[in-house]
A and B are shown apart, each in its own frame.
Chain A
């Protein structure tokens, strides 16, 4: 019964997204297009001013990419395995079933380990709410989803070292409970 409900909610998410004209792929592609446009304009401007500097910039870009490549590849596989087990219906089941602070804690943990683009996360959250998930839980889920990234920690550590990365994720995790609590109080 519960499983059926969340499956239904998932199909509703898709339906609503199409009705409103929001499309995940379109969002990603549009964002990428803007980035490419900026990069091309910047490159042309740079090339016109100083060819040597432009070549140096491209070499630096490649080196920066090469440094982070192993971490990116690892994160890619990690996300694949994680999300294969934590798909939207599963998350819905977890959030819908539990209540109280235990549910909030579960929601925060699920948000920390998953990686869903906002284009998908917000409509999903809206549907979960309609299907009986608590507002406080949804707020905790959304907050950790955006601020805490367990799967992307290897990339973060590469740039910031273990201490800063761990502290950032930990404080953001704790802070998400504050956000959840305030939203639970203010939003009806």
Chain B
């Protein structure tokens, strides 16, 4: 019971805030519930196939293969693969975190995982086409040209900023996910 409470602590706090909003600002409450319903629908729609694919990836792709292609010392090939994998994706960023979790487990280097996250968040190909039609080619292209080196620099910077002991802990934690 206590464990359950601890696990759902964040959710419970959020529920209390929601109830607070209900008490002081009823119209916003109705709106919040509507937004929650549509977000829930989107999550439920996307989550089952993502997790099934992740389970299969976990079982079928040996760790050695992933380490060789995207692990420490995979060099430029690892970086290019990370950018391509991230860019080919679609969907919200929170969908990328479980994928990154399996990558951690499979020994992909932290910098490549961060590059993958960066690419997923900002250089997705379907989104790029959409951005082009909405905001113009110049806007979309400039952003892409700045973003690609940017996400690589960010990944490198984080690897420098986060102590190695903490990095090791992240990998250990991933084993349990």
Contact = CB atoms under 8 A, between A and B. Distances in A.
A68 B8 CA distance: 10
Contacts of A58: 52, 55
A48 interface: no
Interface in A78-134: 78-81, 83-85, 87, 115, 117-119, 122-123, 125-126, 129
A121 to B, nearest CB: 9
A147 B100 contact: no
Which of A80, A138, A152 has the most CB atoms of chain B within a 10 A radius of its CB? Answer: A80
Given A20-B133, A187-B136, A32 B101 contact: no
Interface in B84-103: 90-94, 97-98, 100-102
Interface in B113-156: 114, 117-118, 121-122, 124, 126-127, 130-131, 133-136, 138-139, 142-143, 146-147, 150, 153-154
Contacts of B154: 168, 171-172, 175
Interface string A173-188: 0010011001100110
A188 to B, nearest CB: 8
Contact of B45 (A28, A62, A77, A155): A28
Contacts of B35: 79-80, 83-84
B10 A164 contact: no
B138 A115 contact: no
Measured as residues with beta carbon below 8 angstroms from the partner, the interface class of chain A is 35 or more
A71 B47 CA distance: 14
Nearest to A73: B11
B80 interface: no
Contacts of A139: 139, 143
Contact of A67 (B29, B42, B177): B177
Contacts of B100: 159-160
Contact of B104 (A32, A68, A159): A159
B28 A85 contact: yes
Given A31-B91, A65-B47, A57 B58 contact: yes
Measured as residues with beta carbon below 8 angstroms from the partner, the interface class of chain B is 35 or more
A76 B39 contact: yes
- Per DSSP, are chain A's interface residues mostly helix, strand or loop, or mixed? helix
Contact of A118 (B21, B110, B131): B131
A38 B49 contact: yes
A39 B50 CA distance: 8
B36 interface: yes
A98 to B, nearest CB: 20
A135 B142 CA distance: 13
Contacts of B162: 163-164, 167
Contacts of A155: 94, 97
A76 B173 CA distance: 24
B51 A182 contact: no
Given A71-B10, A126-B135, A186-B142, 14 more contacts: A28-B42, A29-B45, A32-B49, A35-B91, A36-B48, A38-B49, A39-B49, A64-B51, A70-B7, A74-B13, A142-B131, A164-B167, A179-B143, A179-B150
Interface of A: 20, 22, 28-29, 31-32, 34-36, 38-39, 42-43, 46, 53-54, 56-62, 64-65, 67-68, 70-81, 83-85, 87, 115, 117-119, 122-123, 125-126, 129, 135, 138-139, 142-143, 146-147, 149, 152, 154-156, 158-161, 163-164, 167-168, 171-172, 175, 178-179, 182-183, 186-187
